[in-house]
Structure 1
């Protein structure tokens, strides 16, 4: 059977696929027993690419190979087309994304017994903030990956607009609403009104800021100082000292760039930093991360600490025992929120801009509907309430509202 349009939410951290018929959505279990598939791959040395939970399991097990996550963040950038030795052959990140999307397609077809030539994919309102050329290139890149994965008809819908289709009936359906979709790589906003069961989009807006950026900020502030960030190096000649370079730590704290740190050149640079360091024991930990390829383990530890600090107790800890036994850094809610205050302000400003684009006064907004995994951070709802104090703050399905809306929209295209 063929002819249906597959809805795909290709996310920075998680992806999903769904179909809809008669107003009902079926989320396809493209990951065994789960409605979402981690957007992650693992290239074992001398083996086939592993996807999703299997990729994470390989990383945890310490299998020899290369783990990659946050693939979506490189769309529109030259890095997408640079080739690396992955799985025994030279491949670009575009090739990796294509293989991931081909896996989504094949699993959806195996689950349904249908063939999918058409896809309706979500996309951020803006892949890149205030960079229209990069934005156009990013969509073109993603379209090319879908086509290379076997789809012949590719259409896109902004992710918050899709979420509006899935959540229009929440709260007072007659009140104007703001979708706030905080994902792994972008934050997107749609202002809409319900119109007799349909959606009237008044404005779409978005910025390149998301959960992976929160992780990066927290990693640099709380984890990387234990690896030497903020320290000093002695000069080879002459008096005085130099600051430890920040750039490699930024790369180590950036999900998409971690795999590209594991080079002989970087290791030599860090070895030289250890030799000249005022606190060589800290720089030696950085060297250990590179030697043992522990960057993703560290990133997951930061993410886990963030989630714990966002919990009811407000107490988290970044466990770095994989680098050195007993090594950790406390992460308390107050300190975390202080570090993320600029990000919070940026989200508030973007929400205000979306409302201004729609011609809706903040005090006239009836509903704010939060979706996306990173919308679970408490400060997101608090900031949106500050933006629109009269609005009801509602939480939809954080990880599946977008794919649900895409499926509903796709069913109307059939």
Structure 2
């Protein structure tokens, strides 16, 4: 995409065209493109508009109704923060700062976080190095009626003047030459710059990939792993006066349930009990399985596997609960016999700590079930129990 394309799509004519397009449907896209060209629309402009219709359709699940008024690139949409996460972060920043404080969004992308910060009552300096992406961010804040609260500046985030800024938000790009980079110094801006910004500004939050090592954030910072509807979407490191008391936390959205790291002993491991709990991915990423197990007086199936088992049933967003119905040492024959005895006709396979491919295992088991396609669906968990490969027949609570 070129800046000229952004300007054309953001114009009155462009916005009117986008508003007139039906919801994107792959099966009718070709016919729609031909119709637009017959109506005299420039072919490139028509193609750009249809691309936006497709991206807006995809973006709605991530950004909500705002997506219908925004402009995107494929990469920009992929890297944009989900609305629920951006809104929560903006609310936390606004609560920690004076009303109307000036905040820098360094590496603002298409502007999703800048929008959330502005709506939280903050003034935003949104900095983006790529001119086209910066143009998209400016078009988006204007389309959402926030131009008075957000200044979009095309500049290098490492060189921008932060005088008068009360806090900074950074989202380092973690791709180089088309692939993800693991070295924090290859990020843009690099991790060392994030640390320098935290020392200079004081109140800083950095959005990172959820797979970061726990050793990356410095002492005094706090890190929270955030999941949305069970999908772990990011790790956020909070510095200075924004840091939480707990060094590590798991945050589950939309419930807002939070689990903090505490000084608890590692849980024991043992045989399956009445209930099996599968911690949310954010709990696992944050290294808080011991804290989750303590909630139910639970133990682990295996010291190295994040499955908790307990005799106590607790309804909590932090873990999904299953009733343990039966269990056998792992083998194709034993699992098939277990399902035959229960009259099951279909199978859901969950796994952790085993190399078995669920789809392949299911395809091998199903042909041997007499009630295939007509009996109830079984859920089987393939995992290790005290080092031994095992299969547990469970029922989700």
TM-score class normalised by the smaller sequence: under 0.3
RCO higher in 1 or 2 (8 Å CA, sep ≥ 6)? 1
> Considering only CA atoms, is the larger Rg found in Structure 1 or Structure 2?
2
TM-score, structure 1 as length reference: 0.26
